[in-house]
Amino acid sequence: MDRVLLKGTDLKVSPVCLGTWQFNDGKSNIQWPVQSAEESKAIVDKCFDLGINFFDTAEGYAGSEAVLGKALLGRRQDAVVATKFGFREGPQTPPYSAQQIDEAITRSLQKLQTSYVDVLQIHFPSFVKDPKETIAELNRQVALGRIRYYGFSNYGPKNMKEFMEAGGKPVVNQIGYNLLWRSAEHAMIPDCIKYDISLLAYSPLQQGLLAGKYASLSEVPEGRRRGKLFSKDSTSLSRHGQEGAEQEVDEALKKMAEICQNAGVQMSKAALSWILQQEGIDVVIVGASTPQQMVENSEVIKLSNEVVQQLREVTEPVKAKIGLSLDQWAPQDRCE
Ligand SMILES: NC(=O)c1ccc[n+]([C@@H]2O[C@H](COP(=O)([O-])OP(=O)(O)OC[C@H]3O[C@@H](n4cnc5c(N)ncnc54)[C@H](OP(=O)(O)O)[C@@H]3O)[C@@H](O)[C@H]2O)c1
């Protein structure tokens, strides 16, 4: 697999990154079914076979850092590892002080069984107490060699401006971006291009929906119907309180299936490749429940301009319905 250079770094990464939110050490959660540490390791092994060297985790993904750390033993130097700080004390994470960031990094290093993290990301803007204090602490961590670079995740245009004006030098912004969730196109993507920050697109298959494997939206597992594409009534797990965009999503998926069939391309591959053909997007961070899914996800193809345009057109109604919302889950957008 090719390598891309993350902007402002010496990190050469595969454009397909393995997202490890699903690594739960055999304990299912609201979003993902049970995945044993052995199954997770088999997925990591397959990634190495395929030339995928980039792995994304977070302290907020219960079990993930420890499972990934174990799976990387003996080959840490061949991997680029990104993690995130944030998520503690229940659903309303209070912001982190410099000391709490330091403690979070210590925990991450222990769980990952490593002496350094390649990219440390701020998971959500609200997890920062004071941008200047945070930037000073992140710079201190770089000087100590505990992190190589820092970036952020879920930072909207206003959040980014504030952080940059405080003197921050993030190298990545990790955002939710896929054919059914294109709100980042309004301002976030152009701003990342302006600031010269690498964009990492998370949930590129919209949690499996864009793999074309569900005959109807009601088949989507309940924990994956919590987002704003689905009506608040779709599941009691939903907390956004909005009407959703199910009709638009359903119509878009049917039209996408037809476009992919005519082009002779598997929908999951088209969905990932489409993202990587958008200006400013460097990497897709995709999760997997089996090694075979990563075989498919690693097969990035060059879609014709016509297919790229057709996919854009048939998903416009979903984009219009979603509007500017960058945050799929919370009632009040956490990314401004
Ligand atoms: N920064 C943030 O706030 C944030 C938020 C969300 C995600 N992320 C990152 O992004 C990563 C990926 O996002 P995600 O897991 O939410 O969504 P995703 O990558 O769009 O979807 C992953 C799921 O889709 C299914 N799938 C994957 N490849 C497939 C294939 N080839 N064919 C059929 N089904 C396939 C698998 O689930 P099944 O087989 O069970 O259907 C897999 O677990 C996360 O692990 C995390 O690292 C970050």
Q: pTM (2 decimals)?
A: 0.98
CB of 198 closer than 6 angstroms to any ligand 1 atom: no
Pocket residue to mutate for ligand 1, from 13, 55, 120, 202, most atoms within 8 A of Cβ: 202
Helical segments of 92-175, H only: 98-112, 131-144, 157-165
314 within some domain: no
Distance 32 CA to ligand 1 centre (A): 9
Going by alpha carbons, the residue nearest to atom 42 of ligand 1 is 288
- Tokens 């956490």, residue? 334
CB of 56 closer than 6 angstroms to any ligand 1 atom: yes
Q: Is the per-residue pLDDT at 46 higher than 80?
A: yes
Q: What 3-state DSSP class applies to 153?
A: strand
CB of 29 closer than 6 angstroms to any ligand 1 atom: no
Distance CA 29, CA 224 (A): 11
- Residues near 259 by beta carbon (within 8 Å), at least 6 away in sequence: 270, 307, 310, 311, 314
108 within some domain: yes
120 within some domain: yes
Distance CA 201, CA 186 (A): 15
| CA 30 to chain CA mean position, Å | 17
Angle separating helix axes 246-263 and 267-276, nearest 10 degrees: 100
Distance 289 CA to ligand 1 centre (A): 8
CATH of the domain at 46: 3.20.20.100
Taking only the tens place, the pLDDT of each residue in 172-224 is: 999 999 999 999 999 999 999 999 999 999 999 999 999 999 999 999 999 99
Tell me the residue range of the domain where 9 lies: 4-211+268-299
| Domain count across the chain | 1
pLDDT on residue 53: 98
322 within some domain: no
Residue 227 vs residues 19, 42, 230, 257, 284: alpha-carbon distances, Å:
19, 29, 6, 22, 20
DSSP string of 218-240, one letter each residue: GGS-GGGS-STTS-TTS-TT--S
| Share above pLDDT 70 across residues of the chain, in percent, rounded to a whole number | 100
Distance 84 CA to ligand 1 centre (A): 17
